[in-house]
Each structure stands twice: as C-alpha cells, then as structure tokens.
A and B are shown apart, each in its own frame.
Chain A
C-alpha cells in the first residue's frame, strides 16, 4: 500500500490507544489525542471553504461534542471516523448557516513547511506543491471540496459523504475518479509532473 495509507493506519491505531488510555483515567492522553487529530479535523473543515476563524470554531466544537459523547463510540478504532464525520457534519451546517465563506485567502499561496528535509528536497517539494496547488485551483469547487474531504477522511464512508457533500451516493466514487483524472490532465498540461 501507499505511504499515505500506511500513515492512516498508524493514525487509527495511535488514536485508539489514546482513547483507551483516556477512558482509563489518563487525562494527558486526551491532550495527545487533541494534538494528533486536530490537524486532520482542520483540513476536513477547511474543505468546506469556511474562513480560518470559523474553522477554528468548528474544530473546537467538535472536540467538545467528543468529550461529552465519547462513550457512544464503542470500538476505539472508530474514533477517527467518529471525529471526521462529526467535523464534516458541523462544517456543513456552519457553512449553510453562516455565510462567512472565504474568498480572498484561498487565492493566496502560503507555503510554510517544516524544515525537516535537506534544502534541495525542500525546494523540490515546494515547487511540486506549487504546481499541484495551481492545478487544484483549476478544478471546479465541487472537485476541490470532494478531493480535500476524501484525502483527509480515511476509509471514506460513501453513504455519509454523499449526505455531507450533497451528491448521490453512487456518484461519489466515479466523481472522485473524474476529479483525479481532471487534475492529472491539468498537471500534465503545465509541466512534467510525475506522481511520487
């Protein structure tokens, strides 16, 4: 499997362990769980084109709901899905009720990566990101949203996704495929992109 998929599995395992420890009374595990999954929830919420302040709000609310209702999560392995589904639902509701959809900030490319790689890799990676970012901007809003949600919602559950994205269930798989194909076409048109 891919690196991304392996990382996803690690995330599930780590989250499950932290949830179990927290349930056993270890308060620090909750902080670690928050630190582990807040970046994922951020990406899921941002897919709905909410501005940054609203997105922060939604992520905070998701965690509060989690603390109050975590006993309804039976299997600790389900914690990531529970959180991402709740985040999507809350983001969708918020995007409908508050018209604070960001216009300007999405047009600004802000590359801020952690400096962990060698400078050469860093430059290569930045230019790849820039190319990818430009290509994504050329996609329809619907494609951009679908791909971002799918990228950060491991093992996507199409039934719930269809409700959250307002698409018929049967069309999500094909739409995802078409959006990725369109993205490949845009990448091929702009340069010598090769998937890693």
Chain B
C-alpha cells in the first residue's frame, strides 16, 4: 500500500472538503436545465401512468434542445411500440404548427388517436393511414404527445404511448 492509499481521519476530512468543492463547481458549471423539473412534473401529472415513454432521439447531428430556441425543430422519438418524427414550425406571426409521422411499425396506425397535452387544454387528432397527424395553432408552453391505442377494432397497442414534454 502506498501512503496515498492510507485512510486517516484527517485525510477523510480533506477528501470530504474537496468533494464538497467539486459538487459546488459542477452545480455551477453544468447546472440542471432550469425548467427540467417543471417538465417532469408535467409528465407525471398524467392521470394514467401505465404508459410507455418514448425516448427522445435527435436527428443526425442536429442539436435539439427541448427548450425551443429554433424556428424549425425536427425531433424523433422511439420506443418499443413505434417511433415518431415530429416537426415544429413557428411562422413569422409566432403561430406554432406541429406535424408528426408515426413510423410504419406502429401497430394499428390507421386508427391511432393522438392527443397534444398543452397546459390545461388537450388538442385531439387522429393519425391517417400513412401515420400522419397535425396540430395547428399550438399554444406556447409545455406540450406532450399522447398516443392512445385504437379503440375501434383492428390490432390494438398494448398501452398508451407518450413522448417526453417539450417546450414550444
């Protein structure tokens, strides 16, 4: 054993102090995104928590922060059930439009009900046979897509599928 490995109360105390310094340094240099906790609470406020959460995947090397500094954002989500591509456009008047395409592996994608949770309201749409859906005039703030299993015959998705919350 080298002297460096020896544990003494004094060495332990010095290590604790240095770790506390490190903790503070990382908190200051790489702080948690300020609205992350808020977005998480938004997702956790869903009434039915037996859902599948799709994971956020960026497209190519494009940086997509979930905070929306960009005018056009393309975001892909994927999970066990299916993947979905979402494009969010903000026009000159500040109106936000959201277009989505559900990947072809989506079960029963001809009848998938799509909801957009935004704040207190919920917008509803339905994916067409190509898996396309759209929401016009999306209010600014936190939004989240919720895909409900088809209720009218056909193959059913096992459970509700949701995306993480996004800020638009």
Contacts and interface: CB of A to CB of B under 8 A. Distances in A.
Contacts of A183: 18
Contacts of A39: 27, 31-32, 37
A184 B15 CA distance: 10
Main secondary structure of the interface of B (DSSP, over half): helix
Interface in A34-65: 34-35, 38-39, 42-43, 46, 52-54, 56-57, 59-61, 63-64
B70 interface: no
Contacts of A195: 14, 17-18, 21
B28 A111 contact: yes
B150 to A, nearest CB: 24
A80 interface: no
B29 A110 contact: yes
A159 interface: no
B66 interface: yes
B123 interface: no
Given A30-B41, A52-B65, A100-B58, A178 B4 contact: yes
Interface residues on B, range: 35 or more
Interface residues of A, number: 55
Given A52-B33, A196-B21, A43 B27 contact: yes
Contacts, number: 139
Contacts of B33: 42, 52, 56
A3 interface: yes
A15 to B, nearest CB: 14
A4, A43, A109, most chain B CB atoms within 10 A = A4
Given A34-B37, A52-B33, A52-B65, A2 B13 contact: yes
Contacts of B20: 2-5, 196
Nearest to B24: A129
Contacts of B158: none
Contacts of B65: 52-53
24 contacts: A2-B20, A4-B19, A5-B20, A38-B32, A38-B37, A39-B32, A42-B32, A53-B56, A56-B66, A56-B164, A60-B43, A60-B164, A63-B44, A64-B43, A64-B53, A67-B44, A98-B57, A109-B29, A111-B29, A112-B31, A129-B28, A132-B22, A178-B5, A196-B17
Interface of B: 4-5, 7, 11, 13-33, 36-37, 39-41, 43-44, 49-50, 53, 55-58, 63-66, 164-165
